Amino acid sequence: MSKITSIEGRVLFNSRGSKTIEVDVKSDNKFLGRVCAPSGASVGKYEATSFPSGGPEESLKILTQNSQKFIGLDSSDLKTIHETLKSLDNTNNYSVIGGALAFAVTIASMESASQSLEQPLFKTLSPNSEAKCPFPLGNILGGGAHAGPGTPDIQEILICATGSKTIENAIETNLAVHKELRKVLEKEDPNFTNGRGDEGGWAPKLENQKALEVSAKACENLGFTLGKEVSLGVDFASSTQWNEEKGKYIYDRAGFENSTGEQIDFAADIIDKFKLIYAEDAVHEEAFEDMAELTAKFPNTLVTGDDLTVTSKDILTKAIGIKACNAAILKVNQAGSLYDALEFADVANQNNVRLITSHRSGESTDSQISHIGIATKSKMLKVGVVGGERVAKLNELLRLSGHDFICGMAEI
């Protein structure tokens, strides 16, 4: 057992250039766990609050004032560390200390414990299970809240090398499709600037259908068949389009509106036409019944909740009750602490809801989420295709597979 001997934080910047908090936990005066919190742009209504009203500086002040409460704790005792955070903030959304602080303290403690145990983080989190590699799922074309005017309303078109037998091949295939898509976009629009959105996906001036067509074309140009070597996914991020007052989905950029029924048909047509393996938040975050309709219709697609389930075990339990989704995103900072997120993962795994561990659009160059994806038996790891803060997570999977820590790819 190693004991926490120091804990300190600092304010620094994420990949979007926004302020965030980083925490260092040291055990036995030498084993360092360092974690920097990410943050989202399309944020679910029921997510943990990232920071209190005073921002990252206020979270840092709270940590500094209470650091003594963590000294002497066993750094691998996630429950006690979680409870210590809860003693500072008993709200259900971390509005007092900030979910970002809960994220950084809990993961940094487990990282520090892993250093002292001389084992990778995923083993500390899940000591007894066989480790499988999640399939990388990455954004190749972005719009919505992650890119500017003129781009698609749909937030993300994603690639997943579902036919790959190794992580090396899966990553290389995703990269090849991303590269080929640039060529297709340049042909389509000679003025395409090669601009990219927050997660590294191309951000062209295209409406939704055309964006999907060029993505499919890039796969076909490489000789791939959709649904075989590679599959497409979409994060509709539909809460961005949902207008509560009008009771409609407003597609500002494409210039149309969908009623609830039309939105279900709109998503269903895309799932069908592009043989999607993955469809995230196809309806807004409170439309559980509408999600259930799509889940029943597409048993071979991962009909996934993100803003719908917000890494909350209680909300997931409600979703399971009405079969609203057959897959769910796990973003630790939606829940707050790693302890909360692992509880959510247990509920998902016990109920055959497939997990996809995910980055946020504003990221750090840390790679602990690759370990969290393995430890939670996630089927996919949604971390982008290019960009230093995205590739850091993919490279960590390669490092682990190079050491024979993981045996084979997950079964989707």
Q: Please identify every residue annotated as catalytic.
A: 199, 331
Residue 25 main-chain phi, psi, to 5 deg: -115, 125
What is the closest distance, in whole angstroms, from the C-beta atom of residue 261 to ligand PEP in the complex?
24
Using the rule CB under 6 A, is 306 a contact of ligand PEP?
yes
Instruction: Decide: is 306 part of the binding site for Mg ion (CB under 5 A).
Output: yes
Nearer to ligand PEP, 27 or 368 (CB): 368
Give the CB-nearest residue to ligand PEP. 40
Q: Please return the burial class of 174, using the count of CB atoms within 10 Å of its CB with bins 0-12, 13-18 and 19+.
A: buried
| 47 forms part of the interface with Mg ion (CB under 5 A) | no
Are 356 and 329 spatial neighbours (Cβ–Cβ below 8 Å)?
A: yes
Residue 207 binds Mg ion, judged by CB under 5 A: no
Supply the DSSP string of 88-119, one letter for each residue. H--SSS-TTT-HHHHHHHHHHHHHHHHHHHTS
The DSSP result for 327-376, as a single string, is EEEE-HHHHSSHHHHHHHHHHHHHTTPEEEEE--SB--S--HHHHHHHHT
Q: Which option in ligand PEP, Mg ion, none does residue 358 bind, with CB closer than 5 to 8 A by kind?
A: ligand PEP
Tell me which residue of 192, 107, 100 sits closest to 150, measured CA to CA: 192
| The entry of ligand PEP, Mg ion, none that residue 40 binds, CB within 5 to 8 Å by partner kind | ligand PEP
- Interface with ligand PEP includes 40 (CB under 6 A)? yes
Tell me the closest approach of the beta carbon of residue 41 to ligand PEP, in angstroms. 4
User: In the range 74-113, which residues lie near Mg ion by CB under 5 A?
Assistant: none
- CB closer to ligand PEP, 131 vs 328: 328
When asked if residue 361 is in the footprint of ligand PEP (CB under 6 A), the reply is yes
Burial of 289 (0-12, 13-18, 19+ CB in 10 A): exposed
CB atoms within 10 A of CB 132: 17
Choose, by CB under 6 A, the member of 205, 354, 360, 379 that binds ligand PEP: 360
**How remote is the C-alpha of 270 from its chain's centroid?**
22
Interaction of residue 235 with Mg ion, rule CB under 5 A? yes
The stretch among 34-42, 57-65, 177-185, 312-320 that binds ligand PEP (CB under 6 A) is: 34-42
Binding site for Mg ion (CB under 5 A): 235, 306
